[in-house]
Amino acid sequence: LVSAMNRVQLLGRVGQDPIMRQVEGKNPVTIFSLATNEMWRTGDSEVGQGALLLLCPLGDISQKTTWHRISVFRPGLRDVTYQYVRKGSRIFVEGKIDYGEYTDKNNVRRQATTIIA
């Protein structure tokens, strides 16, 4: 028997206040964006922790910000997230990656990657 795992852990800052959406006939979901940063020294191939890089002032430090869409479906967690999480909050999110598709308002099929917290 082969097992599989889909698990992600993110530590970052919230990009905007969470919103709660409800599609007819489905449970509500709280949604927000989360920014994570990677930092590295120019010429380095390894990505490291920002604090460690700042202690080693060799070369220039580069940074890349990645935005993640977070969806919270679990009722208690969904409500607490909506009530207390705010833009700029630094939070830790654990969940799974979900890849899906949707059709936008121009009837174009789009890919969507979401973290289900």
What is the model's pLDDT at position 51?
Answer: 52
What is the model's pLDDT at position 40?
Answer: 82
CA pseudo-torsion sign 53, 54, 56, 58: positive
Please state the domain extents for the chain. Answer: 9-39+60-116
Bridge partner list, 112: 100
Burial group, residue 4, by CB count within 10 angstroms (0-12, 13-18, 19+): exposed
pTM here is 0.77
User: Is 9-39+60-116 assigned to CATH 2.40.160.10?
Assistant: no
pLDDT (tens digit, 0 to 9) for every residue of the chain, 117 residues total? Answer: 777 899 999 999 999 999 999 988 888 999 999 999 998 877 654 545 555 555 555 668 889 999 999 999 999 999 999 999 999 999 999 999 999 998 999 999 999 999 999
| Distance (Å, whole) CA 99 – CA 111 | 7
How long is the chain?
A: 117
